[in-house]
Amino acid sequence: MAFIDYYKILEVDKKATEAEIKKAYRKLARKYHPDLNPNDKEAERKFKEINEANEVLSHTENRKKFDEYGENWQHAEQYEKAKQQGQYQSGGQQGGFGGDSGDYSDFFESMFGGRTSGRQRGRSAQFKGQDFSTELHLDLKEVYTTHKRTLTINGKNIRITIPAGVENGQQIKISGLGGEGSGGGPKGDLYITFTIENHTNFKLDKHNLYTTVDIDLYAALLGGEITADTFNGKVKLTVKPGTQNGTKVKLKGKGFPIYKKEGEFGDLYITYQVKIPTDLSEKEKDLFQELAKLRTS
């Protein structure tokens, strides 16, 4: 198999930052996405290559291995382990590597090119499959409840359960959903990074929600009952007489679900914003003037 340069696929320099790699991936993924290129086999091939490149270069450890070992990056751990144990044979002599950095090429050739030696003779090495990584964009409302989502990873549809309360930037690992192992080795893992977008009137801070509710001047002065929105419905609240603008009330357990803690929620904090009436009639102005005189008398 010809060597695939993931940097060239993503059209970035080897010194590219994580942000530059992410930007390049998003740009190319949009360009070659199957939904925008129906029945285009070449675009489909490019899309798979782009995802494969991103899965390696966006993962710090995988990128480090790729930079050092190139096409053999997936077997870097086996090379290092064999090096430490002195299992590699060079020129028919048993011992450590002791040579230059090119020795690992001979090691990989002996492992996969037929020149088996020592303990490797007569059996194939087992290697874990490639780890996959992807980014999933969700709305805040979607992660309020546990739900299922179908993802397309390397052309395969995978159905996963997304627990309520996942946070922006959080990464989870799903074992066994990566690439196939070799020599009977286990499958790789799937790493999902969540990007949570908030299009609601609520601000989220950890597990607590914050919002503002308007109340009219008369409810603030005299008290009364109002209806307010929470994240999952409406509630009735009692406003105390003489409530000041900016007053905060806490609704316990009406915040956001706590990740992997079934039935546990943060709190909801509501700030009252007193609305001053405008366009008063002459009679209303007279009445307010009467009230003002009473307050100052």
Strands 208-216 and 268-275: parallel
What is the reported pLDDT for 119? Answer: 42
Structure tokens at 29: 């993924």
Residue 12, domain CATH: 1.10.287.110
Mapped onto helix, strand or coil, the DSSP state of residue 236 is: strand
| Same domain assignment for residues 115 and 143 | no
Identify the domain containing residue 59 by its residue range: 6-120
Q: Distance between CA atoms of 182 and 124, rounded to whole angstroms?
A: 9
For the chain, 297 residues long, give each residue's pLDDT as a single digit of tens: 456 788 999 999 999 999 999 999 989 988 988 878 888 888 888 888 898 888 889 888 888 888 887 777 777 676 666 656 554 444 333 333 333 444 444 555 544 444 444 444 444 567 788 888 888 999 999 999 999 998 887 778 888 899 999 999 999 888 888 888 877 788 888 889 999 999 999 999 989 999 999 999 999 999 999 999 999 999 999 999 999 999 999 999 999 999 999 899 999 999 999 999 888 899 988 888 888 888 776
**Sequence-distant (≥ 6) Cβ neighbours of residue 123 within 8 angstroms:** none
What is the reported pLDDT for 83? Answer: 58
| Same domain assignment for residues 41 and 88 | yes
User: For residue 127, is it within any domain?
Assistant: no
**Number of structural domains found in the chain:** 3
| Same domain assignment for residues 71 and 137 | no
End position of a domain, from candidates 69, 90, 120: 120
Distance, first Cα to last Cα, the chain: 95
C-alpha neighbours within 13 Å on the C-beta side of residue 228: 27
User: For residue 77, is it within any domain?
Assistant: yes
What is the reported pLDDT for 121? Answer: 41
What is the reported pLDDT for 292? Answer: 85
User: For residue 125, is it within any domain?
Assistant: no
**Sequence-distant (≥ 6) Cβ neighbours of residue 29 within 8 angstroms:** 47, 50, 51, 54
| Same domain assignment for residues 207 and 182 | no
* Predicted TM-score of the model (pTM): 0.57
User: For residue 126, is it within any domain?
Assistant: no
